[in-house]
Amino acid sequence: MIAENQARTGTCRRASKDYREPVRPYRRDVWTRTIVDHVSARAPELRNSLAVDPHREITLVVKICLDWSISRLQGTLTIEDIDRLQAVLASWAGDGIGIDTVLHGVHEGFRAGMDLMFAQRRSTTSDEVRAVTGAVLELLRVVTATVGKSYVREYRALAIEHQVGVHTLTSALLRGRPTSTMATTFGALVAERYHVLAVSMPSHPDEENPDLNGQVVARRKLRRVQAALALHTRAAPLSLLSVDGGTILVPCAAGDTDTLTDELVEKLSTAAQVPLRVATVVADAADVPVAVGHAHELLDTADQLGRAPGVYRFEELALQYQLTRPGEARDRLAGQLAVLDDHPELLETLRAHIGTGLRRQATAKLLHLHPNTVDYRLRRVGELTGLDPSSSTGLWYLRSAMIARAGTSCEPR
């Protein structure tokens, strides 16, 4: 690419004879020292960030760039130096030096280098100005791109390493086998207690858009949620998530309230751009595997009952949870509504009446019926099931039967 640019632009051919003559070693050394001193003085944050040998590392980068510029002007350009530069920059990224710090140092180095190149001549022609400026701008482009690529590659590698570590630690917690050694290795701490969140993440509307790639939209939704989760600075959550949901473990702290979990779920819903349905329980680290099972069963209960998105806790759905547990009692209770299978309008009316809080007028409005029709259908429910919706006992059994029926309807056949 560099050689092609050189051949295409012909910049080197426009350079004067003086620029194409070899630069003596002593002059290169003087220029190198001058640029290094300038960068060290004008970009102290870079110098202070290099923990091993700042002077040597800055000198190495300056020599690479200076040699590139001189070779570029003299028509003897090779790309090996850029490979060396990329290796140095990758190590800086790995050491945690900010890319803005590096780029500031690069720009200060170019400023000093330009001054030196023009100062070597008492007068310069327009061709010489174009030659030097073209070489410097091309080098700046190459170096800036190299910095960006080096940092992206290094951060991507670090992110993958961190992701693997977090995944391993989370999996160990879910299996009940976390170790302090594992946590230390991955730079995390195993908390004494966790908020265990079972998460249901619905599809984003754009996933069904025929003009868009639904899988890409879903992955972007997941990445937004993971990014929002990473910004939860109060405690570092662990998670195993897919585009449909999953499990999140949030370390408990003294003084935690339900509000904190609600706020986190609200932030994640905002990031996903769809409302999440979440069930949460609290458990000791050793009990996380059992708690995860309970949380997801509680989430299934909320799903089966058609509950709205939001956060659900065990005490809110304890009765519903118990009624949907597999067993003969649940099956018998759910079976009391079997006689309504041939009368779907009666089952719909009963469900709507319970959903409106037993308000006759509201039920009629919801179903677009006359209130007398609602009364008739509820009487028919009582006649067929033997459970009178107008009595407290009959209504209690009917509501329980509907909950139990929701539990059986979602089981695999």
| Domain ranges for the chain | 2-156, 191-323, 328-409
Q: What is the CATH number of domain 328-409?
A: 1.10.10.2840
- What's the distance, CA 338 to chain centroid? 46
Predicted confidence pLDDT, tens digits, the chain (413 residues): 444 444 333 444 444 444 455 555 667 888 899 999 999 999 999 999 987 789 999 999 999 888 887 777 776 666 666 778 888 888 888 888 999 999 999 999 989 988 887 776 655 677 777 877 887 888 888 889 988 988 888 888 877 777 777 777 788 888 877 666 665 555 567 788 899 999 999 999 999 999 999 999 999 999 999 999 988 767 778 899 999 999 999 988 876 777 888 999 999 999 999 999 999 999 998 899 999 999 999 999 898 888 889 999 988 888 888 888 888 888 888 898 999 999 999 999 998 998 888 999 999 999 999 999 999 999 999 999 999 999 989 999 998 998 888 877 655 43
Q: What is the CATH number of domain 191-323?
A: 3.30.70.270
Dihedral sign computed on CA atoms, order 41, 45, 50, 51 = positive
Instruction: Tell me which H or E stretch contains 196.
Output: strand 193-200
Distance in angstroms (rounded) separating the CA atoms of residues 93 and 65: 19
Which are the contacts of 263, defined by CB distance < 8 A and separation ≥ 6? none
Residue with tokens 């001193």: 37
Q: In the CATH scheme, what architecture does the domain 2-156 have? A: Orthogonal Bundle (1.10)
pLDDT in tens, 250-263: 988 876 777 888 99
